[in-house]
Structure 1
């Protein structure tokens, strides 16, 4: 598996599988078939079997998949067997919403620090998270050894902030800004453009109606 390149579409589906396996485990279900998984997560069973095949023999023909074993495998694969601390850069309206979101539900991610320039909130605790001034960002990220951040700053300063994040060794950025930031190939960026997603949804509704389209 170490030398196997996992397709991007497959990687995006792994958290979906993991979340549903949590539901099954909580319900006391011991095994599940690819057909049952397909009905639940709206991904065809052939795609599920192909996705799982990248990781070796996870199930048995005629038996399906052992829920607890599969859950434990994906927990380790997705690094959910240990707590991951992330930082929030920008505590505006969206930033506040993310602070209030329960990341601990079905995963092991915690926002442990937030940064902003608004002196009304810097030096305070917001939703259980300390908010530091942006001037302290590089020092705190280094001290707290945080390598993953959520970026929700205004677009005009997004690249400047990104450059500072790269300087202190940040490895992953979940970018909520509309700007496509530039980073070296040592840094992974995941773009989340809510406006673009909404416009895409409107387009598909207009062209194709309400038929569900899942990523291939």
Structure 2
């Protein structure tokens, strides 16, 4: 159970990294790890790790470290929640298709990409990695039918803006936005923006200034 205090966004951003680390450690048969080992694996300083974990109470013991199995369970609940979350994907072009072919369940076993949408008649009715592609005209009815809470947008920027207001009204609470545009949603919707051009520029910048 989270403490009733505000957790910094930077800490929230690192939770999936911690979860992935503990999950992989468990799969490798590791029983416990130290903050130093986490630090070396994730390139996050130990003080930051201890500060991040302090927001959630006593997760480890001095001289013992962190119990891997217990932390997998804890971060699974914090990152993924307790139930299966249905996700929709809108736009099955090159990027959308690549995401559908990615094995999300390897890391996020409570995330289910239930259905994809497109406007291309040649694609509608097909399946990609077991996910059916449905005509965009059925967007509202399907979101409500499967109680989808999360949408992945891999459409042209302006299309994403036009769709974002609608999908909020249909019940979407979180959006993974691959368009470069600011979406037309209220503060009630959590949006995580992934602009590949910006990420590439950031990579080049860090490469240039690393040494």
Q: CA deviation at 1:82?
A: 3.2
Moved over 4 A (4+): none
Answer yes or no: is the 8 Å Cα contact 2:85–2:149 preserved in 1. Answer: no
Residue 181 of structure 1 deviates from its aligned partner by 1.1
Q: Which runs of 5+ in 1 are unaligned?
A: 212-216
| 1:61 equivalent in structure 2 | 62
1:81: how far off? 4.4
- Alignment partner of 1:98: what SS? helix
Q: Find the counterpart in structure 2 of residue 7 from structure 1.
A: 8
- Structure 2 partner of 1:142: 144
Task: Name 2:52's counterpart in structure 1.
Answer: 51
Q: Describe the superposition over 1:161-211 as per-residue Cα deviations: whole angstroms up to 9, x where unpaired.
A: 1111011111001000011112111111110001111012222333x1x45
Q: State the partner residue of 1:41.
A: 42
After superposition, the C-alpha distances for 1:94-128 in whole angstroms (9 at most, x for unaligned) are: 00000100001121212111000000011221210
2:178 aligned with 1:189: no
| The one of 132, 135, 140 aligned to 2:134 | 132
Match of 2:205 in 1: 203
**Corresponding residue of 2:27:** 26
Aligned residue for 1:153, secondary structure, equals coil
CA distance in 2, matches of 1:202, 1:73: 36
* Distance in 2 between residues matched to 1:57 and 1:204, nearest whole Å: 35
Contact 2:19 2:72 in 1 (8 A): yes
SS in 2 for 1:85: strand
| Partner-residue secondary structure (3-state), 2:104 | coil
Secondary structure at 1:112 match in 2: strand
TM-score by length of 1: 0.93
Say whether 1:82 aligns with 2:55. no
Corresponding position of 2:182: 180
Count residues with an aligned counterpart.
209
Deviates more, 1:76-85 or 1:157-166: 76-85
**How well do the aligned residues superpose, as a CA RMSD in angstroms?**
1.2
2:161 aligns to what?
159
Displacement of 1:80: 5.3
